[in-house]
């Protein structure tokens, strides 16, 4: 698993992504699918800056429900992970 961001047209907009076996996956969709409903309230998940070696902990930054930039760390349970 690799984390990062997609920046279309070198603009200010960006979306946090994970890559599994060369395939990009939207971070918000991935987290919602793994039982993290809180990300639905965030205005944007902008970038993944770190992923643990087992893929269970993901860190990054984005724009929270308060429209301010925040860092985040999400720990997934091993039984809910699709990180293979």
Domain assignment of residue 34, yes or no: yes
Total domains, the chain: 1
**What does each of the 84 residues of the chain score in pLDDT, given as a tens digit?**
667 666 666 656 778 888 888 888 999 999 999 999 999 999 989 999 999 988 899 999 999 999 999 999 999 987 644 443
Per-residue confidence (pLDDT) for residue 2, from 0 to 100: 66
Query: Which residues constitute the domain of residue 69?
Result: 2-79
Domain assignment of residue 84, yes or no: no
Domain assignment of residue 12, yes or no: yes
In this prediction the pTM is 0.79
Q: Tell me the C-alpha distance between 30 and 20, whole Å.
A: 11
DSSP H helices in the chain: 27-33
Per-residue confidence (pLDDT) for residue 14, from 0 to 100: 75
């Amino acid at each position: 698993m690799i984390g990062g961001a997609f920046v279309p047209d070198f603009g200010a907009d960006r979306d946090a992504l994970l890559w599994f076996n060369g395939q990009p996956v939207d971070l918000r969709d991935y987290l919602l699918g793994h039982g993290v409903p809180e990300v639905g309230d965030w205005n944007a998940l902008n970038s993944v800056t770190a992923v643990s070696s087992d893929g269970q902990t993901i860190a990054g930054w984005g724009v929270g429900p308060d429209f301010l930039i925040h860092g985040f760390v999400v720990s997934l349970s091993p039984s809910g992970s699709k990180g293979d």
